Every structure is written in C-alpha cells, then in structure tokens.
Amino acid sequence: MADFGIGILGTGKYLPERILTNHDLEKMVDTSDEWIVRRTGMKVRHILDDDVPSYKMGAEAARLAIEDAGLTPLDIDLIIVSTEVPDYLSPSMACLIQREIKAENAAAFDINAACTGFVYAMTIAQQFIQTGYYKHVLIVANEGLSRIVDWENRNTCVLFGDAAGAVVLGRVDKKYGIRESYLAAFGNLGHNLTIPCCYVPEEEKQKRREGMERTIWQDGSEVFTFAVRAMAESVKTVVEKANSTINDVDMIVPHQANLRIINGAAKRLEVDEDKISVVLHETGNISSASIPVALDTESKNGRLKEGDTLVLVGFGGGLTCGSILLTWGK
C-alpha cells in the first residue's frame, strides 16, 4: 500500500471573452431563448476569436493551474492534452502548450476520448505518478468546438462553446486523492456522434450540407439515451469499486452536455440535484473541458471542502464514458 495519494494540486480555466447568447442565436437560426433553456439549460457560450489559435486557451488555463499548485512550468514532468479539435494534427496541442508556457522539462502528448477525455487523461496520469515515473503531470482539456460547428444547423450550433480547463496532478497526503476510476468505450455506437477529419465517407457527407463535411453531427435522441444511462452507470460503477455508497458522495461533477441529461441521470441515481455541479448555463457544452472548468469554478467559489468525496463523470463521442472517485485535498 502506497504511503501517498495521487490528487489534484491546482486547477485553472480559461473562457474566451467573446460571448454568444441565446438571443444572438435567435438572429442566426430558427430558435428561441425559451426553447434553448428548456431543452438544454444553456444561456451563453464563449467563442474564440477566429485569429486566435485554440492552444492559447489551454496555455492560459495551464499557467493558472500551475500557479494554483504552487509550482513553476519547469516542475512539470508530463503534459497530457485532451482535445477533439486540435489546431494541427502535428505538432500536438501538448507540444504547442509546452512551448507556450516554457515547460522545458516536460514530455507531451495528446489524447482524444471526446467528452470523456479529461477522465481518461486523469487515469493515465495517475499511472505515471503511481509508478514513480513522473512527479507532476499537467492535464489540459482544450476544446475549440465553435470551429467545427455548422452555424446554420440549429440542432448543434446552440449547444457548443470554447474553453480550456487544467489541473496539476501529483502526490498528496494518503487520505486524499483518487480512490477509484472506471473507463469504458462503445465503438459500435460511435456512428451516432461524428466529426470527420482526413477521411469523409459518403454517408457522412449525406448528413451535412455541402461544404460542412467536417462539422460535428449527432443523432440527438440516441446520444441523449446513451448519455443518461452512461452517466448514471459510470457513477454507480466507480462508487461500487471504491466500496462506497452514493450517500457518501458530496458532489458529482459531470460533463456539462445538457441539463436534461444531468437531471435524468440524477433521477436514476436518486440523488438531490444540489449535489451535482452545474455550470453549463455559463459555458454551453465544452466537451472534455467541462469537468476541469467546473472543478475550478467550484474550488474558487468555496463549494469544495477538504475531505469531500467527489465523483467526476464523463460521457460522449466514441462513444465513451468514465468516472473517477476522489477525496478532495492535498
């Protein structure tokens, strides 16, 4: 049994200054503020300026997380970036952020597990620290989703925003940190949510209007059904693996996809909605950035207390899902 835990040393986030409201969207597509709020819970989303590379968001979130951890960029041994929308296929977003923040001692790579990416990255980072291979791992979830949205498709354009969230993972007192994790993938369902890149088959072209072949598309009802089930089952699974109960959990921090998904899963779990972190009204769906952005928000506003039991839960493209149960504290 290790004489240390592996936990979050610091958090940070960045949301672009430019805001797109529901009322702005009313002028762009056939929708309304009332419909968007009722169907999604979203009110605003942040949009990156066209002339700014997305990795700049991740670099700023990273700086804040490193500062919050009481470290410097030179203390970082590894950078893992979760993203669905990299600025380049190569170099990786992790290498671009490494250069930007001058983390000259760090190795760096990207992963893509869509909206579950942050949970996957945390679990990967945990292994490096557990084995003693690395001491401090920077995890950045960097998502510029506005760049792969068809702004004439009202089914998707009302949902997504841009943001980055970051944490530094390292050794903590053994009574704190990650206690259990759970990862899953369902590739047979992946066709329900797609973003083509280097290869665009005919069936993907037929789902989109001409010129929009590389934008995000989803079968809303199928994804909704999967998400409610996946969120609830992922929470139950990680709680059981930790030999705990749902009543022991102080806060659930879910991927912020849609308020109806979150409320539907809460009903299945039989937990009060006030036990669940919800920030999507201020961010929209920001894919894998949603959990670290919510964590930073809850930490900075004082809702997270030392010793609290948290469950982080993601679900999304792939299709994928996963969860982490941890005790908050250093």
Catalytic sites, residue numbers: 115, 255, 285
What's the burial of 193, exposed, middle or buried (CB within 10 Å: 0-12/13-18/19+)?
buried
Distance (Å, rounded) from C-alpha 58 to C-alpha 14?
7
What's the token pair of residue 83?
A: 């993203």
The DSSP bridge partners found for residue 194 are: 217
* Amino acid letter, 69: A
3-state secondary structure the chain: CCCCEEEEEEEEEECCCCEEEHHHHHCCCCCCHHHHHHHHCCCEEECCCCCCCCHHHHHHHHHHHHHHCCCCHHHCCEEEEECCCCCCCCCCHHHHHHHHHCCCCCEEEEECCHHHHHHHHHHHHHHHHHCCCCCCEEEEEEEEHHHHCCCCCHHHHCCECEEEEEEEEEEECCCCEEEEEEEEECHHHHHHEECCCCCCCHHHHHCCCCCCCCCCEECHHHHHHHHHHHHHHHHHHHHHHCCCCHHHCCEEEECCCCHHHHHHHHHHHCCCHHHECCCHHHHCECHHHHHHHHHHHHHHCCCCCCCCEEEEEEEECCCEEEEEEEECCC
- Least Cα distance to 230 among 286, 182, 302 occurs for 182
Q: Which residue has the tokens 């590894």?
A: 78
